[in-house]
């Protein structure tokens, strides 16, 4: 069974989409009222050794956006608090080595400007094109290598009407005062259509990855990451074998022990020293020679 870890699970929007595809979902949130699998402060939570590297096929994270929000004007901004949550999230991804990972936050917020987010691939989506009454432009970082099916509102001349705004409280709609707009749960939920699209893409890629490994001829050897190319050269052998992950840099090299199921084959091949290898994409966050 494939497994999803949903961090900052809140309303469980993404988890439900993966459950529909028969994935096992483990959720984590600090709020017990959200009924997560694990009630914990993410900064105090230690996933190892309970969950081994590669245990989760996918990690989805929706860290609290309060400190990055541009509408935060009633008190001083505590960026270090927001940074602590996001950096711990990226650290957990690095520790657990999922095949796929993604982290979302409002695209209009300040998270995209934080130095530790530089270089991470991303896609923007708008909630209004996925069935919600408000635009809520959202950025999704990760290694999904995915192009959203629906256009982004406000980009390329495409724009739709938004009867509501992505804020709680009172606002004015075409001269009319609208009160008690949105519950907290409504504001923090992700459109089901968007969740299903992402879950479908990840599920299909996971199936392709397993099939690629199952069909591969058998060879021994080690796993090597060429840091400049950000590729993992995976010896073609059984999917359940474990091997050594070498991170090759200009200076020294670090060796980690992982299982080959913790990575995502792209299906292309390379040849090195006379042996065939399967090229595998590796997220930047995992290419840390200091590990």
Q: Are residues 266 and 135 part of one domain?
A: no
Q: Which of 66, 82, 60, 80 is nearest to 8 (CA)?
A: 60
Residues facing residue 255 across a β-bridge: 246
CATH of the domain at 80: 3.40.50.150
Q: Are residues 24 and 53 in the same domain?
A: yes
Pair 33, 147 in one domain: yes
Largest CA distance in the chain: 72
Q: Does residue 164 sit within a domain?
A: no
Whether residue 191 sits in one domain with residue 124: yes
CB distance 178 to 170 below 8 Å: yes
Query: Is the CB of residue 260 less than 8 Å from the CB of residue 241?
Result: yes
How many domains, the chain?
Answer: 2
Q: Cα–Cα distance between 99 and 89 in angstroms, integer?
A: 16
Q: Is residue 175 part of a domain?
A: no
pTM of the full predicted structure?
0.69
Has residue 174 been placed in a domain? no
* Structural tokens at position 158: 């495409």
The per-residue pLDDT string of the chain (291 residues; one tens digit each, 9 = 90 and over) reads 899 999 999 999 999 999 999 999 999 999 999 999 999 999 999 999 999 999 999 999 999 989 999 888 888 889 999 999 999 999 999 999 999 999 999 999 999 999 999 999 999 998 898 877 776 889 999 999 899 988 888 676 666 765 655 444 555 555 666 555 445 545 669 999 999 999 999 999 998 877 765 565 544 444 443 333 333 444 333 333 333 333 333 222 222 223 333 333 333 333 333 333 334 444 443 333 333
CA dihedral 98, 83, 197, 56 (to 10 degrees): 20
Domain with 29, as residue range(s), is 3-159+187-209
* CA atoms of 142 and 117, how far apart (whole Å): 11
Asked if residue 177 belongs to a domain, the reply is no
Are residue 203 and residue 254 in the same domain, yes or no? no
Pairing of the two strands 58-61 and 100-106: parallel
Cβ-based neighbours of 186, under 8 Å, separated by 6 or more: none
- The reply to whether 93 and 153 lie within a common domain is yes
232: Cα within 13 Å, side-chain hemisphere: 28
> Within this chain, do residues 11 and 154 fall inside the same structural domain, yes or no?
yes
Same domain, residue pair 203 and 239: no
Residue 136 and residue 228 in one domain: no
């Amino acid at each position: 069974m494939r497994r999803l870890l949903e961090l900052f699970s809140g309303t469980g929007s993404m988890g439900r989409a993966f459950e529909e595809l028969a994935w096992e979902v483990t959720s984590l949130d600090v709020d017990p009222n959200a009924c997560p699998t694990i009630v914990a402060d993410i900064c105090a939570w230690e996933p190892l050794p309970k969950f081994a590297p590669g245990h989760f096929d996918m990690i989805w994270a929706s860290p609290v956006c309060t400190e990055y929000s541009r509408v935060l004007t009633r008190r001083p901004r505590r960026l270090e608090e927001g940074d602590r949550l996001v950096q711990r999230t990226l650290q957990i991804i690095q520790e657990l080595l999922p095949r796929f990972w993604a982290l979302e936050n409002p695209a209009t917020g300040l998270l995209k400007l934080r130095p530790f987010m530089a270089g991470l691939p991303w896609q923007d989506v708008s909630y209004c094109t996925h069935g919600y009454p408000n635009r809520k432009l959202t950025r999704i970082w990760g290694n999904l290598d995915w192009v959203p099916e629906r256009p982004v509102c406000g980009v390329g001349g495409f724009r739709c009407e938004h009867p509501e705004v992505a804020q709680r409280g009172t606002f004015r709609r075409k001269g009319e005062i609208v009160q008690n707009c949105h519950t907290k749960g409504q504001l923090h939920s992700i459109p089901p259509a968007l969740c299903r699209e992402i879950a479908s893409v990840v599920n299909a890629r996971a199936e392709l990855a397993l099939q690629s490994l199952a069909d591969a001829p058998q060879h021994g050897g080690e796993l090597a990451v060429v840091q400049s190319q950000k590729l993992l050269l995976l010896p073609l052998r059984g999917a359940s074998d474990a091997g050594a992950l070498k991170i090759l840099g200009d200076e020294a090299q670090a060796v980690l022990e992982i299982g080959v199921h913790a990575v995502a084959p792209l299906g292309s091949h390379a040849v090195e020293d006379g042996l065939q290898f399967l090229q595998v994409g590796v997220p930047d966050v995992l290419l840390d020679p200091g590990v």
